[in-house]
Amino acid sequence: MAVKKKASRPKAKVTPKTTAKAKPKPKPKPKPKPKPKAKAKATAKAAPTRAPKAMSEAEMMAQWQAAATPSAGHARLMSMVGSWRATTTFTMAPDAPAQVSSGTSVHRLVLGGRYLEQIYKGTAMGMPFEGIGYTGYDNVQKRYVGTWMDTFGTGLMTSIGTGNPTDERIDCVAEAVEPSGLKRVFETIVRIRNHGAHSYEMWTTGPNGKKYRTMIVEYERA
């Protein structure tokens, strides 16, 4: 006997759920740019410097007169005027034996008392030796100045005062160029003991970096 098949119910159509569209993420707001720092206020313009007041002819003449007139600095040189017997002790290096020589020196004021001239004659290192020097006081720089030349070279040694000079002591720094072409610097000291004696010292730096006395000239009135 035939079995009747049950009629199957038609399946309900399932309509797919429509998914909600994702909302677009908000774009990040651009970070505010830092405000440029306010420029420092321009400093006030410096007042224009005024040109120095022009001196009158009388003022210029007075200035020149003061610079040219021998002063107390020149008076210190008076005690060294005269004729002298000189004994020189020279040391080539700190450990070298001293060499002693003798000579005579005549000192006189020249150019109206503005410079002390020295004319030296004697021997040095067993050879004849002559030298001429000038020492003065510069009223403008308020320093002693000097030059020296001799038969052991064809250049000049120049010196300029340092420190505060007194009637008993005058300090200078001297420069000279050696035959090797190197510049040599010396510290010099004039010691005025009394009207009848004075001395001149030269100090320099040795190979060990220490200062030593390379020369002393002792003057006694002839």
Average pLDDT over residues 104-129: 96
With a CB cutoff of 8 Å and minimum separation 6, the contacts of 130 are 119, 120, 121, 122, 150, 151
pLDDT at 110 over 80: yes
- Residue ranges and CATH numbers for the domains of the chain are 67-221 (2.40.128.20)
| Nearest in space to 80 (alpha carbons), one of 32, 119, 138, 31 | 119
pTM of the full structure: 0.74
The number of residues in the chain equals: 222
> CA 192 to CA 116: how far, in whole Å?
14
Give bridge partners of residue 150 from the DSSP assignment: 131
Indicate the pLDDT class of residue 49, thresholds 50, 70 and 90: confident
Does 108 or 11 have the greater pLDDT score? Answer: 108
